[in-house]
Structure 1
Amino acid sequence: GAEQVHLWRRAYDVRPPPLPWDDPRHPRFDPRYADQDPESLPATESLHDTLRRVLPYWESHITPDLRQGLPVLIAAHGNSLRALIKHLDAVPDDDIANLNIPTGYPLVYELDGDLKTIRHYYLGDPEEIAAATRSVARQAGPG
Structure 2
Amino acid sequence: MPKLVLVRHGQSFWNLQNRFTGWVDVPLTEKGKEEAFKAGELLKDIRFKVAYTSALTRAQETLKIILEVIGLQIPIIKDQALNERHYGALQGLNKDRARQKYGAEIVHLWRRSYDIAPPEGESLKDTAARTIPFLERAILGDIYEGNDVLVVAHGNSLRSIIMYLEKLTPEEIIKVELDTGAAVVYELDQEGNIISKEVRK
Give the match's secondary structure for 2:197: strand
Work out whether 1:6 is the aligned partner of 2:108. Answer: yes
Q: Pick the aligned partner of 2:186 from 106, 109, 129.
A: 109
What is the aligned counterpart of 1:46 among 123, 129, 150? 123
The corresponding residue for 2:36 is none
- Tell me, yes or no, if structure 1 residue 86 matches structure 2 residue 163: yes
What letter is aligned with 1:93? P
**Displacement of 1:45 after TM fit?**
0.4
How many aligned positions are there? Answer: 99
Structure 1 residue 10: Cα displacement = 1.5
Instruction: Tell me the TM-score normalized by structure 2.
Output: 0.47
Higher relative contact order (CA 8 A, sep 6+): 2
Supply the distance in 2 between the matched residues of 1:98 and 1:48 (Cα, whole angstroms): 15
3-state SS of paired residue (1:110): strand
Q: Please give the alpha-carbon distance, in whole angstroms, between the structure 2 residues aligned to 1:123 and 1:98.
A: 18
Give unmatched runs, 5+ long, in structure 1.
19-43, 125-143
- Could you say what secondary structure the match of 1:87 adopts? helix
- State the 1:78 CA deviation: 0.6
Rounded to whole Å, the distance in 1 between the matches of 2:168 and 2:118 is 22
SS at 2:115's partner residue? coil
Give the number of the structure whose residues are more often strand, by fraction. Answer: 2
Contact kept in structure 1, 2:116 and 2:123, CA below 8 Å = yes
Matched, 1:97 2:174: yes
Structure 1 runs (4+) deviating above 6 angstroms are none
Map 1:63-78; keep pairs closer than 5 Å: 63-78=140-155
